[in-house]
Amino acid sequence: MKRSSLHLSKRLEEVGFSDIVQIRNKVMALRAAGEMIYGFHGGEPFFTTPIPIKYGMMQALVEDKTRYAPSSGLEPLREAIAHKLQTFNHMHVGADRVLLTVGGSHALYASFQCVLDPGDDVLLFSPYWTPIRELIIGAQGRPLLVPTVSARNHGITEALERYATPQTRAIYYNTPQNPNGIVFTRQDAEEVAAFAIKRDLIVIADEAYEDLVYEGEHFSIATLPGMAERTLTSYTLSKTFSMTGLRVGYVVAQEPWMTGLRKIILYSTNGVSTPTQWAALEAMRMPREALTERLEEYRKRRDLLVQGLNSVGLECIAPAGAFYVFPRSTKIHKDSRKAADILLDKSHVASIPGVAFGAQGEGHLRFSYSVPMETIEAGIAALKTFLC
């Protein structure tokens, strides 16, 4: 019998929703029912958006800067971003290599759409930020999971060799990493770059947490010799400037990617909202010292949470970057979905099951420490009552 036409395109039927949304909904329902929940499940900065950024947007509105901006982004904003890329990331780029996007998510969506053909494979260090798998599948590619921890312990090149196929076209390279806070070193980047060059692969780099590095340094893979032409790097203002809801990010690349990215941006969003871009310009003008102060606040929270989780038997190390801790769940349950459910039911502590970030995340939970210190203290006290 002929199938009715009332179904999604095959491409989209294969794309899933993430567990994270379901957990967020459950927490919202519990809170709405009057329950006190210690929420470590989120993925956004707890700081409010800095005042100059908010005034930047208000001023743009008052001055009627509400019309279409160029879909690539406002020129002064692209210039300011290029300056930041030169001074902070050590990239030799001008504004002509920068395109504004609706957050880092859109930069990544556009990058995968630009690079992948149906049937292409993408190497993906796992555990990984959940939407990446779906972005690859949505571009009709196939994700190939490379276990991050064993790759770092036993050799990144060997691991990439082992999982690559003749159809491999790209590597997704995220540092600092969500969900485990790993910061890839310059040496790690050199290995990935050498592999990409040898196999003629494209690197889709994701540096969303570049400003949240506590140990070591952030290193942009696109700066290595031979990499600028084969790397599309995505950034976001969401995490650094507490602008998650404003939805602004950018992507940096060379031709032919720039032409492809421009097409995707033009036909998906036709650019970022104009007042948001003026707000983003204020963000780019903020002194970097303000970011250092925030980093210290995050570090305090990281240390408190790591110490607290270890004290209740949820073993973890202090991650070098981002704002997540990735402790073992095995003391509660080896199935991380069950472990997260048990913690939420018994101690009202909300976390994300590690398996949501790929098979290699199983046996772990993700806790965000981008929360008030009091939440960490109260959450650990609740865990102690339940676990100790």
Ligand X SMILES: Cc1ncc(COP(=O)(O)O)c(C=O)c1O
Whole-angstrom Cα distance, residue 314 to residue 64? 53
Name residues whose C-beta falls within 8 Å of residue 293's C-beta, 6 or more positions apart in sequence: none
Contact status, residue 231 vs residue 205, Cβ threshold 8 Å:
yes
For 352, the enclosing helix (H) or strand (E) is strand 352-353
Footprint of ligand X (CB under 6 A): 43, 103-105, 129, 174, 178, 206, 208, 236, 238, 244, 249
Nearer CB in complex with ligand X: 44/303: 44
Nearer CB in complex with ligand X: 168/370: 370
Residue 366: closest CA among 316, 320, 308, 311: 316
Residue appearing with tokens 């990409």: 196
Query: Alpha-carbon dihedral of residues 63, 270, 243, 133, nearest 10 degrees?
Result: 180
Closest contact distance (angstroms) between CB of 312 and ligand X is 26
Whole-angstrom Cα distance, residue 162 to residue 240? 35
Whole-angstrom Cα distance, residue 362 to residue 213? 25
Whole-angstrom Cα distance, residue 122 to residue 335? 27
Nearer CB in complex with ligand X: 98/208: 208
Closest contact distance (angstroms) between CB of 249 and ligand X is 5
Token pair, residue 156, equals 């990144």
Nearer CB in complex with ligand X: 178/220: 178
Closest contact distance (angstroms) between CB of 184 and ligand X is 13
Closest contact distance (angstroms) between CB of 102 and ligand X is 8
Nearer CB in complex with ligand X: 49/347: 49
Residue 358: closest CA among 126, 99, 76: 126
Closest contact distance (angstroms) between CB of 242 and ligand X is 11
Nearer CB in complex with ligand X: 24/346: 24
Fill in the amino acid letter for 216. Answer: G
* Cα dihedral 299, 106, 190, 90 sign: negative
Closest contact distance (angstroms) between CB of 388 and ligand X is 32
Closest contact distance (angstroms) between CB of 216 and ligand X is 17
Token pair, residue 70, equals 């160029």
Nearer CB in complex with ligand X: 72/236: 236
